[in-house]
Amino acid sequence: MRLSFHGAAQNVTGSCHLLEAGGLRILIDCGMFQGARHADEENAGDFGFKASEIDYLLLTHAHLDHCGRIPLLVKRGFTGEIITTAATRDLAKLIMMDSAHIQEEDAARASRRRRRGGHGDIEPLYNQINVLAALDSFGRNVRYDEDIALNDAVTVRFINAGHILGSASIIVEAVEKGTTRRIVFSGDLGSPGHAILANPIPPPECDYLVMETTYGDRMHKNLDASVVEFVEAISKTISRGGNVVIPTFAMERTQEILFHLKKAIESCELPRSLTVFLDSPMAVSATEIFRRHADGFSDEVRDEMLAGKQPFNPPGLRFTRQTADSMAINRVKGGAVIMAGSGMCTGGRVRHHLKHNIWRPDCSVVFVGFAAQGTLARQIVDGAKHIRISGEDIQVKADIYTINGFSAHADQRELLYWASKAGKPETIFLVHGDYEKGMSSMQNELEKKGLTVQCPTLHSTVDLE
């Protein structure tokens, strides 16, 4: 039995782990590297294994850093089965198609420049045809807490991770030489008490635990306090005649913010005249997908959905899919909340809205999600006085808010509680975290409890005896 780490190893993105057990080669996630200076080279590089030799891919959830290289995996020879939840399958299709579209556009733009210099074209990492081929590999849609036999020796079970809709931690039980070993992969874990999602389910006792550490070095603000801060930031900005720009991830965070905006307007904390632009075709589609999957939500949201209500539709909500509609938002000088992706400001329409609003002292930019090192979002959060967008130097004069109580990730206390339910694994492998921050802090905390902890490096392999 062997475990190797081909992404999110002393890094926050690119989740990809390979388990060789029970005569099978099982991949857990195949995500894209994001944010780092050499991310493009890492994404195009060798997986660290032969795609054609993988039997199964178990997908924890649909974020790009967990599913973004699946089309490349198929392009390079994977012919096995991809297993995940129904909601993750729907959302992953959306995410991968959007990723392919962006890569096709980037490659076309780079190719035009190269042709002017007498050079050949650039090929995208993968295209939309590759995504459609990858979707053919998606097989069984699993339900939470359902045992799935991969062969006579290996059984897997998905449990709710409470991170985004459809997200799961994965329990693998494998028999080798008459002995059963249990390995748990946390995926990304959500925070209990989430406004719209059900709480993450603790793991069973296990022999080995692979756990994320995104926020392993800090505690989140109380959610209620974060909602108050969020509403106050909007209210202050609107009262002085500015706009609020919220860089958002298309899934979960967008829907949660819409949920809280609706509640604040219904309670008269924000004016009913407030215009809310959801300027993200992918977020619009994701919101429609959310309406089709009630089983992963909190009791309150599920009951509203089953009663035919629209918990993610505040008054004044306007969806903008077309580019022309997005550009028309520039004419709105005040009184609007503008939600657009990407959440880390690495691309998408939010950069367009930052360009038109971040230099205005009557406006605000509100960050409600994680900002990885090397991203434009992190530059702004860290207090940059000037930023560059599309080659233009722009002064930062808007108020900048960072409200981390909305985080879709568990904090240090919540991670430690979750890990405590796994008993005393022989080894806990920490992944998906900044080594100097969340990962090393979590390692220290776990080792204080007498647990054996490793922080594997990229492409490292461990024999599980």
pLDDT category at 137 given cuts 50, 70, 90 is very high
The b-or-e profile of 180-215 (16+ CB within 10 A means b, else e) is ebbbbbbbbbbbeebbbbbebbebeebbbbbbbbbb
Quote the pLDDT of residue 391: 87
Integer Cα distance of 133 and 130 in angstroms: 5
**150's tokens:** 């991969």
Quote the pLDDT of residue 253: 81
Whether pLDDT at 196 is above 90: no
Helix or strand holding residue 257 (H, E): helix 253-266
pLDDT, mean of residues 261-285: 91
Q: What is the pTM of this model?
A: 0.88
Integer Cα distance of 385 and 103 in angstroms: 30
Phi and psi of 30, rounded to 5°?
-150, 80
Whether pLDDT at 223 is above 90: no
Mean per-residue pLDDT of the chain = 93
Quote the pLDDT of residue 344: 87
Higher pLDDT, 294 or 379: 379
Range with the lowest mean pLDDT among 160-174, 290-304, 357-371?
290-304
Integer Cα distance of 78 and 296 in angstroms: 30
Whether pLDDT at 50 is above 90: yes
The DSSP secondary-structure symbol of 202 reads: P
Q: Are 317 and 276 in contact (CB under 8 A)?
A: yes
pLDDT, mean of residues 176-182: 93
Q: Are 67 and 31 in contact (CB under 8 A)?
A: yes
